[in-house]
């Protein structure tokens, strides 16, 4: 994982296929990346146009990838709502954006991270109950 500064370049000029980058493929992968990340670190969770790529009738993604992306975007929103991160987007090219989860400083007291909802297609491990603890 790498941090992104104001002058850093994130991706090449053209909007490459998402599989060529280190992008979480499901909510469990995003959760693991968030747990390992340091405050201020940015995690790329989508490259393209999120609203278009999530929409069933206009998305050019295969159906299962579109469903997985929808779950990841919903989970990123839940993480932000719970105070774990900020959601940002950066323009890469015309009609191509990098969607980022930027990790916030951890609270002093124990705080649970929202658990990802299990995918209808697959379940990783014996059910992930994830809890993060920060010592004072």
Residue 77: inside a domain = yes
Q: Are 119 and 71 contacting, i.e. CB atoms less than 8 angstroms apart?
A: yes
First-to-last C-alpha distance (Å) of the chain: 25
Residue 2: inside a domain = no
Which residues 6+ apart lie within 8 Å of 79 measured at CB?
30, 34, 85, 101, 113, 114
Residue 120: inside a domain = yes
Number of domains in the chain: 1
Residue 3: inside a domain = no
Domain with 102, as residue range(s), is 18-132
Question: What is the full per-residue pLDDT of the chain (136 aa) written as tens digits?
Answer: 444 444 444 444 445 444 446 888 899 999 999 989 999 999 999 999 999 999 999 999 999 999 999 999 999 999 999 888 999 999 999 989 999 999 998 766 556 677 787 765 544 443 333 333 333 3
Supply the pTM of this predicted model: 0.67
What is the three-class DSSP state of 54?
helix
Residue 13: inside a domain = no
Phi and psi at residue 64, in whole multiples of 5°?
-65, -40
Rounded to whole angstroms, the Cα distance separating 36 from 59 reads 31
């Amino acid at each position: 994982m790498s941090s992104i500064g104001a002058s850093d370049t994130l991706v090449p000029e053209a909007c490459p296929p998402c599989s060529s980058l280190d992008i979480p493929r499901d909510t469990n992968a995003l959760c693991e990346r968030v747990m390992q990340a340091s405050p201020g670190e940015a995690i790329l969770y989508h490259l393209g146009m999120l609203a278009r790529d999530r929409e069933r009738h206009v998305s050019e993604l295969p159906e299962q990838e579109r469903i997985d992306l929808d779950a990841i975007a919903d989970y990123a929103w839940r993480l932000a709502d719970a105070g774990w991160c900020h959601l940002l987007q950066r323009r890469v090219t015309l009609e191509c954006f990098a969607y980022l989860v930027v990790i916030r400083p951890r609270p002093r007291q124990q705080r649970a991270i929202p658990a990802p909802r299990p995918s209808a297609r697959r379940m990783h491990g014996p059910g992930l109950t994830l809890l993060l603890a920060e010592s004072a």
